[in-house]
Structure formats: structure tokens, C-alpha cells
Amino acid sequence: MLSKRQLLILQVIIDEFIKTAQPIGSRAISKKEEVTFSPATIRNEMADLEEMGFLEKTHSSSGRIPSEKGYRFYVDHLLNPVHLSTEDRHVISSVFDRDMVEFEQVIQNSVSMLSDLTNYTSIILGPEVYETTLKQLQIIHLSTTTAVAILVTSSGHVEHRSFTIPQAINPHDLEKLVNILNERLVGVPIIHLDKRLKQELTHILDHYIQDINTAFNYLKGALLDQQPTNIYVGGITNMLLQPEFNDVAKIHSLYSVIEKEDIMANILRSEDRGIHISIGHENQMIEMSDCSLITATYSLKGNQYGTIALLGPKRMEYSRVVALLNALSGQMTNTFHNW
């Protein structure tokens, strides 16, 4: 259990380090108006905080920097809520003031705005296609051997893929399959489509289609598997502005993770709602061990959720970032629910 004095010193050190990226010494702390202790007392408390694992001492300075344990304690117990400036609120609102009717346009503008406001890397994950329900399936034949499969979901997402029809499959069987899907499975979550087919419709399909397993497996592979990841990234080079990332090899490995959409989507997917903060080695990927990732969820109609995230150094402006993500996620939710 930390004393009030230790709590104050820890908060001052982390707040100052977030601003300066420089190790904090006892003399700098003693100059703070809210600190009334002598430099000797401060040094003793800093030594105790280091021994408890909340601070670390660098090789190049007698000052201290926060450890991951220190950041976690700060985020969980010392984080002060902040009110966004009028300018920040205006910038967020301006994204939604325009007469926009496309989901993707709102997301693209939001991700750019967020990275500009923070100088961190912003990432927005759109609602997962697997979390949406089926609205319509369609097969359009381009020739006797090629076709385009089209899937429309309840969120308005349209996915289309061209494919070659194998000789083993009768093109008319594919059309029958699609017609039955549209009749029986509209409104069913796509992730449950395979299960519903096997449990409820196989006996019906067998009466109409010669080789139901081949036809369905091919259509599933052509259209339902490997759904696209709706992920948008802004300010990917902002990490170069942070002193923690002046190592070329370090920044290259981090970029390699950010650029792999499937990996980032898996990191951002969560059943937890609201704000979530991962610090350093709490992140899933070792390449992100020098980073903090702060996420927030937004929702659309039909109980569909997406994720907003900011990726930056562990020395992030946690209070402001949390306030920004809360404001943006609320604005996005209100906008999409009113569409």
C-alpha cells in the first residue's frame, strides 16, 4: 500500500515523464507547487518506489522513469479525467457535421482526425462481417464456367468475388442453393450459416441439388470463408516522432505488425465494451512491447460493434486519449444509430 506521499511523487514523475520523455530527478519534483517535501525525502521515497517496482533507473541519468507496473498503477488508480478542450470537441464534431451517408467515409475521416489530434497511430476496426446477418446472396453467371458471388449483409456491406465453376458442379445447382439460402436464412448471423444448413436444411436441399456437399462447400469457400477485414489505419508514421522509436529495427518490426490487417484485427477484437488499456508486455505481440494500446468500442444498429484504437509509446497522454476515445466512440455510435 503506497502512502499519500508516495502516490503524489509517483503521479508527478509519470505526468512529467509523459510530457518530457526525460528521466525525472528529485530536484525537478521538489520544484512542483503541490510538492512540499525536501529533496532528500523525495530521493528516499523514489528509492522505495523503485524497490517496489513502480520506477526504474536509467543508466544515463540519476533520474527515474516509470516501469510498466508504475504505468499500470497510474492508469488504474491515479488517472485524472480531463475535459476536452473546445478545439478538440470542435474537431471531432466537424467529422460528423458534413452530409455524409457512407459508413466508410465517416471511418476514414475519423481515423485521420484522431491521428492528427494525438500524433499517435490510430486504428479503427469496422463491424465484423461475421457478426452481421445475411441479407441477400446472389450468383451472377459471366459465362458457362465463371460467375460472381455477391453477399449483402444487414450492415450494408457488399462483398463480391469472381470464381470459376468446377466441372463437377452444375451451375443450376448453385442457383438453387442460393435461392434456398435467401428463402430460409435471411436474418441469420453469417457465422452460424454453416451450422444452420447442416442442422435444418440438408434434408430439404438434398431433394433439389444433386451434390449438396460439393456445391455448398465450394460456395462457402468462394464467398463465406476469409471475410475481408474492415480495418483502417491513420498516422502510421507518427511513431517516428516519438523518441522511444529511434531504433530502425524496432520501428520496422512494429510496422510489420500494423500492416498485417488480420493480426491487428485479432488484437482489436474483444467482447469487452468501453475503454481498455494494454501496456507494454500486456500486448499480445512482442513487437508492441514498447507500446500502449488504448481501445474503445462503438456500436451500430443490430447489436454490431466496432473498435477504435490508439497505438503509441507507453508514455502516452492517457487522460486525454481516454477522453478523446470516449467522445469519438459516443459520436460514432449516435451517428450510426440515427442512420
CA–CA separation, 269 vs 12, rounded Å? 34
Region(s) of the chain under CATH 1.10.10.10: 4-78
Long-range contact pairs involving 280-284 (C-beta distance under 8 Å, separation at least 24)? 280/68, 280/71, 280/314, 281/68, 282/68, 282/72
Domain(s) labelled CATH 3.30.450.40 in the chain stretch across 86-128+230-338
Q: Lowest mean pLDDT of 65-74, 192-201, 203-212, 268-277, name the range.
A: 203-212
Contact call for residues 265 and 297 (beta carbons, < 8 A): no
Count of helices and strands (H, E) across the chain: 13, 10
DSSP secondary structure string for all residues of 14-48: HHHHHHH-S-B-HHHHHTSTT--S-HHHHHHHHHH
Are 308 and 65 within 8 A, CB to CB? no
CATH architecture for residues 132-224 = 2-Layer Sandwich (3.30)
Class of domain 86-128+230-338 (CATH, top level): alpha beta
**DSSP letter, residue 262:** H
**pLDDT at res. 327:** 95
pLDDT digits (tens, 9 = 90+) for 39-90: 899 999 999 999 999 999 887 667 899 999 999 999 999 998 889 999 999 9
Distance, first Cα to last Cα, the chain: 50
CATH class of 4-78: mainly alpha
Write out 107-176 in H/E/C secondary structure. Answer: HHHHHHHHHHHHCCEEEEECCCHHHCEEEEEEEEECCCCEEEEEEEECCCCEEEEEEECCCCCCHHHHHH
Instruction: Give phi and psi for 56, each to the nearest 5.
Output: -130, 150
Q: What is the pLDDT of residues 203-238, one digit of tens each?
A: 655 555 555 565 556 555 555 554 555 789 999 989
Q: Where in the chain is the domain with CATH 3.30.390?
A: 132-224
